[in-house]
Chains A and B, each alone.
Chain A
Amino acid sequence: MKKIININLAGRVIPIEDSAYESLQRYIESLRRYFANEEGRDEIINDIESRVAELMNDKVRKGATAVTDADIEEIINSMGRVEDFEKTDAEEKASASAGQASGTYTQTQSEPKRAKGRLYRDGSDKFLGGVCAGIANYMNVDPAIVRLLFAIITFGGFGMGILIYLALWIILPVRDLDTYVGKRLFRNPDDRVISGVAGGLGAYFNKPSWAFRLIFAAPLLLNILFGVLNGIFFMWQRDIFPNIFIGSFSGTFVLAYIILWIVLPEARSPFEKMEMRGEKVDVNRIKQNVQEGMSDFKTRMQNWGEEVKETAQRVGGRAQEFARTQGADFASDFRQVSRPAGHGCLHAIGVIIKAFFIFIAGCITLALFAAFMAILFGGVAWWPINNFLWTSSIQKGLAWGTLIFFIGVPIVGFMTWLVRRIVRVRSHSRYLGWVFGGLWTLGWICAVFFAVSIAKDVREYERATSEVSLIQPAAGKLVVNVNEPEIHYGGGFGWLRHDNTGWDITDDTLKYNNVKFRIGKSEDSLYRTSVSKYSFGSTKRDAQERAERIIFNVSNKDSILNLGSGLSIDRNSKFRGQGVIVDIQVPVGKKIRFDESLVHAYNPWVVRRSGREYRRYWRDDYRYNIDWDYDDYFDWDPNVDYVMGSDGKLIKAEKAVTDSTGVYEKKAEKDRLKELEEKERKNEKERQDIEREKQKLQEQQNRTDSNSTGFKRKDNDTEVASLTLFSALVI
């Protein structure tokens, strides 16, 4: 029983027997190899193909149901086999120079070996050192898969892959191995939901394709599910769903899918489909491989013909040398990687730099991509933040456009390029570049409009100032504190860590502690306080309204000025750089004291006290410095009394306060005095030591002045310098 398939050859649809098709395929491939060095190769092949198609068509027209083995045999005989050409060309080939004769053609005859039982590096098919191809050969799988796995290990395992790779590179001996034949990874157009990637994987691994589909889809679905659940249960949700993990996880899988989609060719012809399933082709192809050497080279010949040729020449020339001296293997291999011969060391560095460049670039892109995906697919969790960011739906759309097209497209593009480099696939169509370019252009447009839109929103700046009526403190000392509980992030969104303080966000309120202080001299003997709320806006009116809508609590009781722990913004006013400035005017000679609770409540402070809590200074004031350049940031110590000087500056009240009740500790003063005296004594002793040593050195120098010590030292210096330079270079 024979299977009959329809093929489209040179524009004709021809029914052909399965086995006949295979021999035809083999024939065309052998021609392709034969004419690999011919200038008009493609044209020759096309001409021959169309002639073959014509001949087959004749057979069919004469009444055959399909082209049979015998027909093909006949056609091939009339066209002539490669061996016949070789006979005709024999003399010419022999007279040609050795360099001419080699190349792909010689490769065919150099009998590449299928290394049984031993792991080699593949000298004939390599990206860096041929390690992956060697492993693939050993395990008899598609080298592209091993390369991809290595890339994943490298990116995922923080460079582990690189170390393993280098180790294998050094350890393994090189050898010209057979190119992989057999099952190959394709996309399966007959079994697809989106693009057939999962179908192709299923066919390749002989597992049901829904399993792969699930692997790709599950993290994404889980992510969306968790996002929804987090939205519902955010009240008591604490670390239940590790969303950031799932987020980047799903991102990785989506990325993997997209890249496989782009990289893998679609199994279009029946032959490729058989190749994909590894049906029967295996045996035939291996048989053919023994005859013809590098069988599966069709596509690679076309795209990498030149490179392969070079490599083959180099490898061929050194093959015997390698066999004899394995020790020199590594070094000479490094040389071999390089383009022109010589300068082994330099090129070794070049190769390592290349490897690291690819590694680092890959890491960066992967990180970017993971972040990008987390943002994109954590979308459900993002909604509340959206509530506070965009003043119009157009702006929101532009923001998404910028994210996806301006940031996302280049990342995906670069990843694709990188993976293509790794698996050595070249673009099937140039449309891909156009699509990426087009999308990115769209991204640029979005980004520009987005920037304009945001810039418009922050064009104007307005303040709303209100006086706080103060009860004048009886003891001549105003204490500023915060009674409200510190703002603490309620954990509404799974993708953020929960221990953030200083801001909080819920569906309709955004709270944060952008509160600054301005302490000045009061003109009279009264303490005065005013609160300025400020904001940006597209118009003065807009900014003013937004500023007025800020909620910030201030109250005053006895000598205590009680401030709110932060400002609240409602959902409708959006975040446009709102902030609060607390103005306190202290009469000259009167005291003020900042409670420690301020330090905890407000963020952008530097608290300069050793041994105590340090707070990160969150520098976001570049935008607010309109009101900010009066004063530096708050740098007064908490729990210390300050006195207003006549120059408008606060001076520390002379005595330190150790407890909150304000009782002066005399002992502390004494201790301090003692400490200072001690220090003075110590310094004196040190000074004397220095003096003595200096004298000694001077005497020594006088004695050896006329010697060449100076020069010697100089020499040493240059040597050290060059050493440093060298080691810097090596590193």
Chain B
Amino acid sequence: MNIENTQSQMRKGILEFCILSIIRRGEAYPSDIVEEMKAANLQILEGTLYPLLTRLKNADMLTYRWVESNSGPPRKYFSLTQKGEAFYNELEQTWQELSNGVNALTNKKENNS
């Protein structure tokens, strides 16, 4: 049992939730997602983002369209589908429960000690 492993596991769980929440706000370009996550101090590698997006897209959570860019070939912009929306809502609910529960637990622990 090492700390890194546990940490990455914790991050991994919320990764999809974070990504979906960013995309939910509007069409997003993968590198923008990375930027936004970094700004929020959530580390993610672009290399892990792409497979995740593809997986979500293949599961019909996401869809994308090609947007012309002024430099070079068109870029893929991702947006949420209805299914993705529902998926996100469920995740959000879970997250609320989870964060409430975790907060309650950890705070309680602090109080006790």
Contact residues of A with B, CB < 8 Å? 10-12, 31, 35, 38-40, 43-44, 47-48, 50-51, 53-54, 57, 61, 78-81, 84-85, 87-88, 90-91
Contact = CB atoms under 8 A, between A and B. Distances in A.
A79 B8 contact: no
A35 B9 CA distance: 20
Interface stretch (B49-57, B81-89, B98-106): B49-57
B76 interface: yes
A51 B45 contact: no
Given A51-B31, A84-B48, 16 more contacts: A11-B72, A38-B54, A40-B54, A40-B58, A47-B54, A47-B76, A51-B30, A54-B75, A78-B45, A80-B47, A85-B47, A85-B48, A87-B8, A88-B8, A88-B12, A88-B48
Contacts of A91: 5, 8-9
B3 to A, nearest CB: 12
Given A11-B72, A51-B31, A85-B45, A44 B8 contact: no
Contacts of B46: 48, 51, 78-80
A12 B54 CA distance: 22
Nearest to B58: A40
A60 B9 CA distance: 38
A658 B94 CA distance: 117
A39 B59 CA distance: 11
Contacts of A44: 50-51, 54
A184 to B, nearest CB: 28
B33 to A, nearest CB: 12
Interface in B1-34: 4-5, 8-9, 12, 30-31
A74 to B, nearest CB: 12
Given A80-B47, A81-B47, A50 B4 contact: no
A31 B50 CA distance: 12
Nearest to B71: A57
Interface of B: 4-5, 8-9, 12, 30-31, 45-48, 50-51, 53-55, 57-58, 71-73, 75-76
Nearest to B4: A87
19 contacts: A11-B73, A12-B72, A38-B54, A39-B55, A40-B51, A48-B47, A50-B73, A51-B30, A51-B50, A53-B72, A54-B75, A61-B71, A78-B45, A78-B46, A80-B46, A80-B48, A85-B47, A85-B48, A91-B5
Contacts of B31: 51, 54
Nearest to A39: B58
A494 to B, nearest CB: 61
B2 to A, nearest CB: 10
Contacts of A43: 54
A79 B8 CA distance: 17
A191 to B, nearest CB: 32
Contacts of A87: 4, 8
Q: Is the interface of A mostly helix, strand, loop or mixed?
A: helix
A237 B62 CA distance: 80
A285 to B, nearest CB: 23
Nearest to B44: A80
A107 B65 CA distance: 37
Contacts of A80: 45-48
Q: Of B46, B47, B48, B50, which is in contact with the most chain A CB atoms at under 10 Å from its CB?
A: B47
Nearest to A35: B51
Nearest to A88: B8
B59 to A, nearest CB: 10
Given A48-B46, A51-B46, A90 B73 contact: no
B72 A79 contact: no
A581 to B, nearest CB: 80
A286 B64 CA distance: 40
A672 B53 CA distance: 104
Contacts of A53: 72
Contacts of B75: 50, 54
B63 to A, nearest CB: 14
B8 to A, nearest CB: 5
List 10 tightest A-B contacts by C-beta distance, closest first: A80-B45, A80-B47, A11-B73, A40-B54, A79-B47, A47-B50, A79-B46, A12-B72, A44-B51, A44-B54
B45 A54 contact: no
B72 A57 contact: yes
Nearest to A76: B47
A54 B29 CA distance: 12
A31 B47 contact: yes
Contacts of A79: 45-47
Contacts of A48: 46-47, 50
Contacts of A57: 71-72
A50 B76 CA distance: 10
Nearest to A90: B5
A100 to B, nearest CB: 16
Nearest to B31: A51
B36 to A, nearest CB: 15
A89 to B, nearest CB: 9
A229 B46 CA distance: 71
A169 to B, nearest CB: 41
Contacts of A85: 45, 47-48
A348 B65 CA distance: 53
Contacts of B8: 87-88, 90-91
Nearest to B50: A47
Given A12-B72, A48-B46, A38 B51 contact: yes
Contacts of B53: 47
Nearest to A45: B50
A12 B8 CA distance: 35
Contacts of A40: 51, 54-55, 57-58
Nearest to A49: B50
A35 to B, nearest CB: 7
Nearest to B34: A78
Contact of A10 (B12, B57, B58, B73): B73
Nearest to A52: B46
B64 to A, nearest CB: 10
Contacts of A39: 55, 58
Contacts of B72: 11-12, 53-54, 57
A79 B48 CA distance: 8
A61 B71 CA distance: 10
